[in-house]
Every structure is written in C-alpha cells, then in structure tokens.
Amino acid sequence: MINFNYETDFSLNNKDQISSWILNTIYEETYKLEEINYVFCDDEYLHKLNVEFLNHDTLTDIISFDYSIGKLIQGDIFISIERVEDNAKDFSVSFEEELHRVIIHGILHYCGYKDKTDADAKVMREKENYYIKQLA
C-alpha cells in the first residue's frame, strides 16, 4: 500500500499513476511492497525532523525512515515541497521532474542504493533518470 499524506498546501494530481510507477519500480528492482507513507510538508516541518532524529541542523528535500525487512519494503518518506521547488529552479528543471526524482530517490534507497560516495551517487542518478523516463 502506498499512502500520500499532506502537511502543507499541496496535493498530487496523479496519485494513481505515481503509485503504479512506484510499484513497478519496486518490482523491477526485485523487491515487494508492504507499505510506504509519503508525507509532503514544508521546510520547517522537515527541518524539525532532521534535527530531532538525525541531528542535522540543515534544510533537506527528503528524509526517509526505512523499516524494510529483507526484500519487503516498508517506510516513511518525508518530502519538503519548498525544497523541491527551490531545487527545480537551481537545476533548471520543472517542479514535476524534481518531485518525481525525489519520490523515486527514497524508493531507490529502500532498494539498497546509496549516494554518499561519488561512485554511488552516479549510480543513484542513473537509476533515477531511468525510472523517471518510465513515468513519461
């Protein structure tokens, strides 16, 4: 089950399409879905989580809490709509493209992809690009 929750003035227009896309990504990565909760929020909301749970006093676009067991995916993904808007401008892409990148980024983490090293970040970006094309 994929749930979309809103803690800010935002809502997805195409929830069914996004849900199918996420599910197809999980299956293509040979994982199974238990439950994912997306929470769309603002910078203040996400900053508070970042400080409280991760001891990071910075703004971020996404925080994911992974409760997966083996190949069964379960977790909570928090996304700051304000950060997505700013990042879209900074990277000269549409809001929708940046939002889709962040949405799938959290899923790829659950599927075992990392992004702390340059090499890992390159693989993560390639996977994001691949799956974004699947949505189009």
Query: What percent of the chain is modeled with pLDDT above 70?
Result: 99
Half-sphere exposure (Cβ direction) of 75: Cα atoms closer than 13 Å: 23
Walk me through the domains of the chain, giving residue ranges and CATH numbers.
Answer: 2-135 (3.40.390.30)
Q: Is the pLDDT of residue 93 over 80?
A: yes
Q: Is the pLDDT of residue 122 over 80?
A: yes
Annotation: binding site: 105, 109, 115
Annotation: binding site for Zn(2+): 105, 109, 115
Query: What pTM did the predictor assign?
Result: 0.90
What pLDDT score was predicted for residue 128?
95
Task: Give residue 55's pLDDT band: very low, low, confident or very high (50, 70, 90).
Answer: confident
Task: Give residue 84's pLDDT band: very low, low, confident or very high (50, 70, 90).
Answer: very high
Q: Is the pLDDT of residue 99 over 90?
A: yes
What pLDDT score was predicted for residue 28?
96
